[in-house]
Amino acid sequence: MIPPANAIPPVRHPEAPAPGELLGAHYEHCFGCGEGQPHGLHLQARAGEGVSVSAEFTVKSAHQGAPGLAHGGVLATALDETLGSLNWLLRKIAVTGRLESEFVRPVPVDTVLHLQAEVTAVAGRKIYSSAVGRIGGPDGPVAVRADALFIEVKVDHFIDNGRPEEIRAAMADPDQVRRARAFEVNP
């Protein structure tokens, strides 16, 4: 995705996690990063330099499409989750507006997918970012790529559209950081 001419470089929020810091799950029941999902990706992201993150997840048997290979939708989910984690470095609540993915090579079950993502530009409420996933290590062969457009939203987006019991539970969390992070990625 090509940002418009009026886009500006991203600026890391002064209170963003430090480079190398594990971001942790934004919501316990998130399929991408939450520990409350038995067959979820359990993706773990770390803050990088600037407005970047690195993440990894291990492809399990429950994630396969063709025999012994990761399902393309699961790989797209891993890209989306990694890209969504970037918004925490901007301290913005944003949802995926568009995700363009490219599948370069198969990813076998039991493989660790190493993901790198960065915000490339910001234009008003639009956040442009890109990611790459590699197998065999952070410098291994490219397996997947994605470009994404996230749209900044208010927390009302989730309150008005989410299931009331989950929204109430997230809003009742006394930990302000966890409460804010519960609304940081998707739908």
Comparing 19-28, 102-111, 133-142, which segment has the lowest mean pLDDT?
A: 19-28
Question: Looking at the predicted structure, is the pLDDT value of residue 182 above 60?
Answer: yes
Q: What pLDDT, on a 0 to 100 scale, did the predictor assign at position 178? A: 65
Over residues 142-165, mean pLDDT: 85
DSSP string, 94-160: EEEEEEEEEE-S--BTTPEEEEEEEEEEEETTEEEEEEEEEESSTTS-EEEEEEEEEEE--THHHHH
Question: Looking at the predicted structure, is the pLDDT value of residue 156 above 80?
Answer: no
Q: Report the sign of the C-alpha dihedral through residues 42, 54, 1, 90, in that order.
A: positive
Comparing 57-61, 120-124, 159-163, which segment has the lowest mean pLDDT?
A: 159-163
Return the SS3 of 54. strand
Question: Looking at the predicted structure, is the pLDDT value of residue 176 above 60?
Answer: no
Q: What pLDDT, on a 0 to 100 scale, did the predictor assign at position 183? A: 64
Question: Looking at the predicted structure, is the pLDDT value of residue 66 above 70?
Answer: yes
Over residues 40-51, mean pLDDT: 95
Q: What pLDDT, on a 0 to 100 scale, did the predictor assign at position 96? A: 94
Q: Report the sign of the C-alpha dihedral through residues 27, 32, 34, 36, in that order.
A: positive
Q: What pLDDT, on a 0 to 100 scale, did the predictor assign at position 72? A: 97
Over residues 6-35, mean pLDDT: 90
Question: Looking at the predicted structure, is the pLDDT value of residue 187 above 60?
Answer: no
Answer yes or no: pTM beyond 0.75: yes
Q: d(Cα 143, Cα 90) in Å, to the nearest integer? A: 27
Q: d(Cα 49, Cα 12) in Å, to the nearest integer? A: 9
What is the residue-averaged pLDDT of the chain? 90
